[in-house]
Amino acid sequence: MWDHIINIHSNGNYSVKFGYKFLHEEHLVKQPGPSENDTLKPLWKKIWGLNVPNKVKHLAWKACKDSLPTKMNLVRRKITTTSTCDRCKMHQEDAVHALLHCPDLKPLWCTRPKWNHGTLLACSSFIDVFDFIFAGNNEPELFAAVIWTLWNRRNNLCLGKPSLPLDKVLEFAQERLMGSETTNVPPSHPYGRSTTHWTAPEANGFKINFDGATFADSDSAASVTEVEALAAIRALEFAMELGFDDITLEGDSELLIKNLINEGSKLTHYGNIKADILFLLSHFSKVSLSFVRRHCNRLAHSLARRAIIPPIMSVWMEEIPPDLASVFLADLESLP
């Protein structure tokens, strides 16, 4: 039995057109044929059933889906030109190499004989890795916590930030595991106060400014709020990939921010997207939601408008596009 219907209208009124579309899509889903999801469903169930923080489950899932921003995946996206591991300088970096096979990690894996098994070291994908871990009941929760810690450490090393010593990774993962019950408590979402300029995040926190853009000749059927919501999803996924934990999600869509705070309101045309955003937010230990006016979100707005230029996704780390330098400097100069 359905407990609610997600409607394509923002006011929550039912639409016959939407009902037809929904039933048609359900019919297509039920058509016979091979399905990767059916094959992997037992593995997904085991991963999402782990007694670990949600962000650890999410990273394990992304590793299995080969969607982590490893050097090989960044080359595929044309974000970088080399797929060689930044640490060992010898092998191509995919998820298995970055978190398991890299020679730099050997001292860690040697401390746990059950994780240094020849079968595990011969795995070519994280689907095989977790199949082996679950089949032998080789401390799957701790293993997942270790690979999350290693990914976070890897990102810090790539960014030139202080990183956890390798010999402390196992101890840190064990401590995170012991605190998983409190980590899984849903975060609070305080509503941001009105401001006249962009403000920096609190110490040890990260601010994620997001925005979406529509273009007159793009023939898009999505509403502005839907586009903003999709931008928020990608921003949160990127924050998780970078290992952020204490975040402020800030945007200039008042309707979206208010709907995210009012978690009980699901009868919107972007109800499924909203559910995805709330799911991603649950992976962070501390979350604030902030609505600001357009003039306080100028850089994110300018980047969104710039999306019409390149045909592929673009990522800048510790730098900005030269044509947006003036926007960035204006925000910087407005800080107290």
Cβ within 8 Å of residue 323, ≥6 positions away = 306
The token duo for 245 is 């934990």
Pairing label, strands 286-291, 246-251: parallel
The predicted pLDDT at position 1 comes to 43
pLDDT band at 9 (very low <50, low <70, confident <90, very high): very low
User: Mean pLDDT across the chain, nearest whole number?
Assistant: 79
Structural domain boundaries of the chain?
A: 39-183, 206-333
Is 42 in a helix, a strand, or coil?
helix
**Residue, of 183 and 41, whose pLDDT is higher:** 41
Length of the chain: 336
Is 195 in a helix, a strand, or coil?
coil
Q: What is the pLDDT of residues 44-95, one digit of tens each?
A: 889 988 988 888 888 898 899 898 889 998 888 888 889 999 999 999 999 9
> What is the percent of the chain where pLDDT is above 70?
77
Total Cβ atoms within 10 A of residue 136: 13
* Dihedral in degrees, nearest 10, Cα atoms 193, 195, 201, 207: 90
Dist. CA 67–CA 164, nearest whole Å: 24
Average pLDDT rounded to a whole number, residues 182-197 = 54
Left (φ > 0), alpha (ψ -120 to 50) or beta: where does 243 sit?
A: left
- pTM for this entry: 0.54
Quickly list DSSP for 115-167: GS-HHHHT-SSHHHHHHHHHHTT--HHHHHHHHHHHHHHHHHHHTT-----GG
Given a cut of 70, is residue 109 above it in pLDDT? yes
Q: By C-alpha distance, which of 48, 58, 7 is closest to 281? A: 58
Whether domain 206-333 has CATH 3.30.420.10: the reply is yes
